[in-house]
Structure 1
Amino acid sequence: MAAVTSKTFTEGDVEVSEAIDFCRFYPTSMAAFDELKTVSYQPKGVVLVIPPWNFPLAIPVGGTVAALAGGNTVLLKPATVALPVAWEFAQCFWDAGVPKDALQVVCPAERQSLNWLSAHQSVKHIILTGGTDTAFRLLENAPRTPLSAETGGKNAMILTVNGDQDRAILNVVSSAFSNAGQKCSACSLLLVERSTYEDEIFQSKLRDAVLSLRTGGVWDPMNYVGPMIDHKNEKLQYAIDHLEPGESWLVAPEFIDKEGYILKPCVKWGVKPGSYTFRNELFAPLLSVVCIDSLEQGIEYANSSEYGLTAGLQSLNKAERELWKNKIEAGNLYINRGITGAIVRRQPFGGMKRSAFGGGIKAGGPNYVASFLRFKNATAYDIKDVEANYRQAWNNVFSKEEDVSHIYGEENTFRYLPLNSMALRIADADELNDVLLVMLAANQTKTKLTVSLSDKHHQLEVIKAKVATFDGMKLRLESEEDFINTMSTYERVRACSESLSDAVYQKAAELGLCIIDSIPLAEGRIELLHYLKEQSISFEYHRYGSIFEENKCCG
């Protein structure tokens, strides 16, 4: 990893540990689905795994193991620069007994071959970690193939006047500059409340902390910041060359090599919402500092981004923490700690908005392997029994915010949130029972559902009557063309089968919208997943020797 992707040994060591965690966790997570008696499952088939270069071991291992754990076969297409790492770990898998028929490595030099491969009818699911543009290209190329993608981030950490300044500086520096800022989870925006922002002592401490980071080649283990993978980062160069009104350098950028691979950590001060540096993911050791007048304004600024991957808050005030936790739009939330370094199962990883494509199920979490399985009802069911099953799944699993790690000094909870807006598009041939299951699931999860169908459906009157029995559920009688024109208003689309037209899938691909088209299930432990999004929250309450839960709330 150090030789081919310029990863420091410290970062590489952590990545090896994460890869091992994936190998241990995903197979054991299958047990929860083996125990379900109302459904059966089978593997989807061929899963195409497309990992990035910045985590050349952990992420491809994670995708590969998740697919293999469900009995699928894997085509691994690593980033070209990271091929040597992928080949080495694939060799380990083969040596351990994984058949080469089950795991193959392909690395075409040109995009055309990948386009052909990703659109091939044998590929039943695609796992991507990479750029948002890449996710859209894959969707456009194969709109009916399910895509689980973790993409970009423009991640913000907020520091209020109630935050511990010294601890906050430590957290932001590690989050912004580890791996030379080349993490999708990296902190690239620091939003600071005005009195702290204008405090010269705070500015001096932040400057000193950044300047203290040793920068250089990866072969010196004392270097904290290593080289970037690319010396032709046009977005970074533009951000360096252009200071917009009000902007200045708290720590000026400096390349220490002629080629421009090694950039010392730098801090741009006075960045404003809407500016180039505020909006664009730079993937480099450049931190932007923004002045805010209140926590509420900071949340508004952070949520204005099209991304929603990680987010951080530095505050010792309980009311501020609760407000931020319930208003911020991101998949992984971190309080009074850094916002990178998610650990398998402890902090399942994945974003919201343009940071994630697919069904909202997080990597390293309890449900991830289910994404690569095809479930079906194993027994006949009665609607009343389904209601009871859904209610039990909701009460036992999905309504709870739980900490499964139980670490002194750090609370790591995992919760499910309802979707803001979801559509059920009913095809003329769909069965009434399938439609009812979707309505029941949406109602149980408190997801706002719009039921869309043509006025020619053979069960129209029954469906209209059923919709009227659920509070907040809407009915739209519309043609498929009219439905396509409204798809941008939904967060996700549910279908009862794969019978929707290609035009619907093509529009979904254009919007980056996920269509769940598997047969609705009477088992709530699986079906309810489609109406929810997952969120991880990590709260470090250990401070000055206080490691017990009763001491975690200050202010």
Structure 2
Amino acid sequence: GPLARAQSSLEPGESWLLEPHVVGGNPNLWTPGIKLGVKPGSFYHKTECFGPVLGLMRAADLDAALRFVNASEFGLTSGLHSLDDREVTRWRERIEVGNAYVNRATTGAIVRRQPFGGWKRSAFGSGAKAGGPNYVLSLGRWRDRADDLAAAEVLRRSRASYQQAWAEHFHQEHDPSQVLGESNILRYRPIRAMVVRAESTTPPHKLRQVEMAAAICGVPLSISLPVGQEIPMGLSGGATITTIVQENESELAQRIHTFERLRHLGAPTDELLTTAHAAHVPVIHE
């Protein structure tokens, strides 16, 4: 597998600073290895290898180093050691990982203080981090309370609720542990591409709720409608909506890999679920 390849071979331009070897004839016990000269885009750069092999890459500057890290399909942990506040600020804003450490060790995450979870292929489902305040919510399902309200009133209440949640919680940085001498900040980052799929029976206000939430959070939203369905009245067509497409679910499945999340306002087909799973796209549905 990938780990065996990383432990036993070198790519062009690489060399061993510390070559690993099997201990005592046990194929499951290896000494650590350190590779020099790992190139951008190479096997070891783009592959997640769970084992004691370290690959060293040389970057011209911080921006180049950020490009190296963010080019990976994975994004679990990264660390920076710097006394330059400008570098720290730039790194914090651009690094694409779930656990980001500044001037400290990058292992030993502690419940609540450092909830554990990543970005991209280092995340599963909604992305709620183990040991964090949202993890229990990911183990259940939300259901609307059966209130007999007009759609306009539902939308009014939804907007007020979304705006309050964004302003008071999701747009804030949180440090509940308050450990003297260190910061352990939990923050929320908007995803970069989301698609919502409606069905012919989807109430228009349900689609508007998703659009409203995406607009408040600044998430680019693509809307997928069944073939022949008219665009519901009331959609703003604002800057957060990137496309409105009429298509069947097989056609949506062909482009699902271009999104980070699918919100389905109904019952997705097995084909769509299977394709989304293969593309590592979380699906949120009723």
Task: Report the TM-score, using the length of structure 2 for normalisation.
Answer: 0.90
Distance 1:272 1:297 in 2: 12
Paired position in structure 1 for 2:32: 265
Aligned residues: 280
CA contact (8 A) 1:308 1:329 kept: yes
Q: Do the aligned residues in 1 keep the contact of 2:263 with 2:285 (CA within 8 Å)? A: yes
Equivalence map 1:174-323=2 (5 Å): 234-323=1-90
Q: CA deviation at 1:374?
A: 2.2
- Residue 289 of structure 1 deviates from its aligned partner by 1.3
Q: Which residue of structure 1 lines up, in the alignment, with residue 138 of structure 2?
A: 371
Is 1:462 paired with 2:232?
yes
1:423, distance to aligned residue in structure 2 (A): 0.7
Given that 1:249 and 1:267 are in contact with CA atoms closer than 8 Å, whether structure 2 keeps it comes out as yes
Which residue in 2 is equivalent to 1:424? 196
Other-structure match for 2:91: 324
1:434-456, Cα deviation, whole Å (9 max, x unpaired): 12211111111111111111353
CA distance in 2, matches of 1:503, 1:277: 32
CA apart distance, 1:277: 3.0
Q: Does 1:402 align with 2:174?
A: yes
Q: How does 1:345-384 map to 2 (within 5 A)?
A: 345-378=112-145, 379-381=147-149, 382=153, 383-384=155-156
- 2:12 maps to a residue whose letter is P
When normalised by structure 1's length, the TM-score is: 0.48
More helix per residue: 1
Partner deviation per Cα, 1:147-194 (whole Å, 9 max, x = no partner): xxxxxxxxxxxxxxxxxxxxxxxxxxxxxxxxxxxxxxxxxxxxxxxx
Percent identity, aligned pairs only, is 37
Aligned to 2:214: 442
C-alpha change, 1:503 and 1:238, in structure 2 (3 Å) is closer
**SS of match in other structure, 1:390:** helix
Show the counterpart of 1:488.
257
Q: Is residue 501 from structure 1 mapped to residue 232 from structure 2 by the alignment? A: no
Spell out the pairing of 1:122-141 with structure 2 (5 A cutoff): none
Alignment partner of 2:245 out of 467, 471, 476: 476
Whose RCO is larger (CA < 8 A, sep 6+)? 1
Change (3 A) 1:237 1:390: closer
The aligned residue for residue 529 of structure 1 is: none
Q: Aligned equivalents of 1:324 and 1:447: distance in 2?
A: 21
Of the three residues 205, 223, 228, the one matched with 1:433 is: 205
What one-letter code is carried by the residue in structure 2 that aligns with 1:462? P
Give 1:255 deviation, angstroms. 3.5
What CA distance in whole angstroms lies between the structure 2 residues aligned with 1:488 and 1:285? Answer: 31
Shift of 1:461: 4.6
* Whole-angstrom distance in 1 between the partners of 2:15 and 2:200: 60
Residue 376 of structure 1: SS of its match in structure 2?
A: coil
Do the aligned partners of 1:467 and 1:475 also contact (CA within 8 Å) in 2?
no
CA distance in 1, matches of 2:142, 2:103: 40
Amino acid at match of 2:264: A
Question: Does the residue aligned with 2:184 lie in a helix, a strand or coil?
Answer: strand
How far the C-alpha of 1:237 sits from its partner, in A, is 3.8
Q: Paired residue for 1:514?
A: 282
Mapped partners of 1:276, 1:295: distance in 2: 22
Q: Which runs of 5+ in 1 are unaligned?
A: 1-233, 519-555
SS of corresponding position for 1:486: helix
**Residue-by-residue CA offset, 1:239-264 (whole Å, 9 max, x unaligned):** 34323333222223244412244333
Paired amino acid for 2:10: L
Give, in angstroms, the shift of residue 313 of structure 1: 0.9
Tell me the distance in 1 between the aligned counterparts of 2:259 and 2:272: 13
Is the contact between residue 345 and residue 365 of structure 1 (CA under 8 Å) also seen in structure 2? yes
Q: 2:159 aligns with which of 375, 381, 387?
A: 387
Structure 1: 4+ residue segments shifted above 6 A: none
Give me the whole-angstrom Cα distance separating, in 2, the residues matched to 1:244 and 1:488: 29
Q: Distance in 1 between matches of 2:249 and 2:8?
A: 49
C-alpha change, 1:418 and 1:430, in structure 2 (3 Å) is same
- Give, in angstroms, the shift of residue 380 of structure 1: 4.3
Mapped partners of 1:284, 1:505: distance in 2: 32
| Corresponding residue for residue 80 of structure 1 | none
Query: Root-mean-square deviation (CA), in Å?
Result: 1.9
Task: Kindly state the Cα deviation for residue 331 of structure 1 after the two structures are TM-superposed.
Answer: 0.9
**Aligned residue identity for 2:258:** T
CA offset at residue 486 of structure 1?
2.0
> In the TM superposition, what is the alpha-carbon distance from 1:421 to its structure 2 partner?
0.7
AA of the residue aligned to 1:308 = G
1:414 deviates by 0.7
Please state whether the residue corresponding to 1:505 is helix, strand or coil: helix
Paired letter, 2:220: K
Give the number of the structure whose alpha-carbon radius of gyration is greater: 1
